[in-house]
Structure 1
Amino acid sequence: MIDEEALAPPRGARVPFRASSLLCCLLACATVLMACGRTDAPTTPPSTNGAAATTPTDAGSSKPDVDRAMAHLKALAADIGVRSSTSDGERNAAAYVKTQLEAAGYIATLESFEVDTPIRRTGGIELPDGSITIGTPFGGSLEGEATATVVFGEFGRAPELATVPSRGAVVLVNRGEVLFAEKAHAAQATGAAALVIANNQPGPLNGDLNTTGIIIPVLGVSQEGGQVLRALAGRTVTARSASTRLRGRSQNVFARPSAAPCTAYMGAHYDSVTLGPGAEDNASGVSLLLELARARRTDGVCVVAFGSEEVGLVGSQAFVRTHAVKGAQFMLNFDMVAKLTRPSFIGDKTLADRASAIALTHGLEIPYTASVGTNASSDHASFTGAGVPALMFYAGDDPFIHSGRDSFDNARRDDLARFLDIAAEVLAALTTR
């Protein structure tokens, strides 16, 4: 799952290892594919949606096996390890996923796309003596700097800013009362050189404006930092906002159970952050996806393993731009599904209500939630934006994600088993004629 605060510094059958010689052959093929280089030329995607929606049909069904899913999870998180965007690890994981889907009878292709995205924001507010820099640029902030006097504008509402000399100033406001974006637009409208938002509780403030058209630097500071800046009202500070960009190529794995048009989708991202092997986030989701795809291969239900989710949903955005997904019946997204904490179904409420009822039959209460939370998202959001009813399966937040502690041992077999069984029943309910 993408954590936008982290950006700020910123959401087929796998063949068992113990198989027969024929199955070992398939694994050898996977190894060869992973060892191969990549082709940067974009793949021309096939048509994925017919003119008229048809009901998916069952192409073969068996009981999903959690031990197969755990073997995938080990292969991705332990054997391949870190799978960060545009890295060799990500390419090796894509080759692995493609091979497993082909072994399950899918027509699988790698679809290359360009990555050019900010991955880390840098900067801050340099105090008058130049001895210390505090604060963090917001997502959506202009890259640049402003040296000006500090003025205090309460909560940053337009009437409040109209009463202070904000033109050409570094305007300090408190968090709360109105959205970050509203504060930014109001400050910009008064001619502020930069906007600084102070947290209203202890700790740093890393955020995203979630708006367009902001052409001034916008930064967040801790509650304590806000107190320091307020004491400097009338003094000159320098506010800086910059970012480090990631450029390269990544790939999605797109798989169709047959030549029939795609009328629904299942997906999960297979990449990780650079800091750890991403067992829960999100080897767990793609492992569930692979086993569900193997056990419940259904004509019309296409499978997508997304690359470069962790750097801004880049893979799923590329997919919905190049495939005619609008009109699809549903999209199921699996992200962080092997460590139950506070589970929820996120996205389309109608789909969530159906899934919650099925979860109850498994003794698990999973409520509906409209979104993952502030500054976080996952690939279902790209499909929602394209007009497809989409649902994310989510086991809850985990303090180990986006760190080296999100290793294979962080995943829980029994929790993954419960989500796998629930996902299989949800898929069956959605595809029953």
Structure 2
Amino acid sequence: MKRTRKTIVSVALATSLALSVSSTYTAAAPVAQTSSSQAYYNAVDKKVINKINVENIYNDIDFLAKTPRVAGTEAEHKAALYVQKQLNSFGYDAKLEPFKFVGYTEASKVELSVDGTSYSPSSFTYSVSGNVNAEVVYAGLGTKEELANQDLTGKIALIQRGSITFGEKVLNAAQKGAKAVIIYNNAEGELNGTLGGANDLYVPAVSLSKAAGEQLLEKVKAGSVTATVTIEGAEVSERTSYNVTATKAPTEKKRNTDDIIVIGAHHDSVEGAPGANDDASGTAMVIELARVLKSLPTDTELRFVTFGAEELGLIGSHEYVDGLSQDEKDRIVGMFNLDMVGSRDAGDLVLKTADGKANFVTELSQASSLRLNGVATPYAEGGRSDHVPFAEAGIPAALFIHDPSEPWYHTPEDTIDKISKEKLQDVAEIVGTAVYDRARPDHKGPKAQKGQSFKAPELYYQQDSK
């Protein structure tokens, strides 16, 4: 990489890829083809399809999904090394590109007892460890105005959700001397949130449901209440993750378009999930397409990339895009992002673009799926995966995923036995032929068009900060 950026993220903070069943998709209208053009495309497509070996994809998934591959861990490093080794075996000079980020390990123990009665609290992402026994004092919404004349020295502040962020509530209480903070929900249900980032001024903070919080508030109003807040195992530290990159230069030097196509996926998973579908499936498909396209004549540079730390906020893909020169950004005509492409329990294949609009990648892919399956794969708006940093840089990009996602998403049940070889074959054929449709020396497909840089509308994180 050309530069290293330190990014604060949570190891347990999972990027959401869950898609809505009610999403509105747009499909291309069937395009009439002459028998001669159809025969030509059939012959070209078969050059790719006949080389795809779905057993290779399945076996790579099986290897990668033996254990969770959380970014910054030894397991993720081993996964990146495996990807590098596989790519090098095909004749590539694959690179392991490390980058630093500041990560957060969720607490292993979170407890709250009030005058001997145990509650069931949750901790906030970025809350610090500690053991505090003190009187509980009600502090309203925890705003600076409410706390202006309140002394919380040595106390535990009981604060209601609302008005300002959780992080601000904790800092405001800490500045008034509080040793710990309890925040309770202002709506029904549990409260699972984030303080938004690491801060040395934080004190231990836990959350309660609305019912539990209001019950505790009544006790506080009735008289002096003593509580014990315990948080153990929470840790903030600098860690290393990796992107793996391999490049195929154009073989047709005289017809070199000077363009670049990127095929990518993320190799990390969330804590506790072996991530067979999310996203060993996409990673294994990148490996197989790199093998398939290695021996085919091309006039376009092909880059195969697996990203680290996607689950923590698309850090690896942001690092990759930030490290590109402006010339490279201008030359990349498409980014194909493969994420969760093999679950037997997920819905149908869809394409997701960060702005919901068609682009060069969706056009190529819809033309490919129309030729292969008789139906153009629909597209809709969707972010929260590694196509987003490319799209924000004005690079045409799309996410390939099945909708709705499988019930095993981000769970220990995301295992190899849930993988469908038929779905793997289908996506590999669509992406492989779409890429080759543009990268073959005599390509006649749609003309590449650059997008405009913008800020993607979707948040990267599911957790609430306010």
TM-score normalized with structure 2 length: 0.62
Shift of 1:139: 1.8
Distance 1:127 1:114, change over 3 A: same
Q: Does 1:393 align with 2:400?
A: yes
Letter in 2 for 1:197: I
Aligned in 2, Cα 1:71/1:136: closer, same or farther, shift over 3 Å?
Answer: same
Q: Distance in 2 between matches of 1:64 and 1:333?
A: 19
Matching of residue 258 in structure 1 with residue 249 in structure 2: yes
- Indicate the larger mover: 182-191 or 230-239: 182-191
> After superposition, what is the alpha-carbon deviation per residue over 1:189-241, rounded to whole angstroms, capped at 9, x for unaligned?
76655443324556543222335658323432234432343233252324445
Q: How far did 1:90 drift? A: 4.3
Partner residue in 1 for 2:302: 301
1:107 to 89, 93, 117: 93
Distance change >3 Å, CA 66–CA 228, structure 1 → 2: farther
Matched residue count: 375
SS of equivalent residue, structure 1 residue 139: coil
1:7 corresponding residue in structure 2: 12
Higher Cα radius of gyration: 2
CA distance in 1, matches of 2:422, 2:309: 28
Matched, 1:76 2:77: no
What SS is found at the alignment partner of 1:302? Answer: strand
Letter in 2 for 1:337: V
Q: CA RMSD in A?
A: 4.5
| Structure-2 separation of matches of 1:175 and 1:429 | 53
The answer to whether the 8 Å contact 2:192/2:207 transfers is yes
SS in 2 for 1:102: helix
Partner residue in 2 for 1:367 = 380
Q: CA deviation at 1:147?
A: 4.6
Counterpart of 1:225, as a letter, is A
Instruction: Pick the aligned partner of 1:349 from 351, 355, 365.
Output: 355
| Counterpart selection for 1:287 from 273, 284, 305 | 284
Q: Which amino acid is the alignment partner of residue 349 of structure 1? A: D
2:342 matched to 1:334? no
Kept after mapping to 2: 8 A contact 1:167/1:190: yes
* Superposition deviation, residue 313 in structure 1: 5.1
Alignment gaps of 5+ in structure 2: 1-8, 17-43, 251-255, 440-446, 449-466
Structure 1 residue 185, shift from structure 2 partner: 6.0
Superposed, 1:180-329 pairs within 5 Å as: 180-181=166-167, 183-184=169-170, 193-200=179-186, 203-211=189-197, 215-217=201-203, 218-233=205-220, 234-241=224-231, 242-244=233-235, 251-258=242-249, 263=260, 265-273=262-270, 275-296=272-293, 299-310=300-311, 315-316=316-317, 319=320, 324=325, 327=329, 329=332
Gaps of 5+ in 1: 12-59, 373-377
- Report the more deviating stretch, 216-225 or 343-352: 343-352
User: Structure 2 CA distance, aligned partners of 1:384 and 1:196?
Assistant: 40
Q: Once the 2 structures are TM-superposed, how far is the Cα of residue 367 of structure 1 from its aligned partner?
A: 2.1
Q: Identity, % of aligned pairs?
A: 26
SS class of match (1:327): helix
SS of the equivalent of 1:277 reads coil
Match in the other structure for 2:423: 415
TM-score by length of 1: 0.66
* Counterpart Cα distance in 2 of 1:406 and 1:334: 17
Q: Partners in 2 of 1:286 and 1:406 — Cα distance?
A: 15
Contact 1:137 1:220 in 2 (8 A): yes
**Counterpart contact for 1:106–1:258, Cα < 8 Å:** no
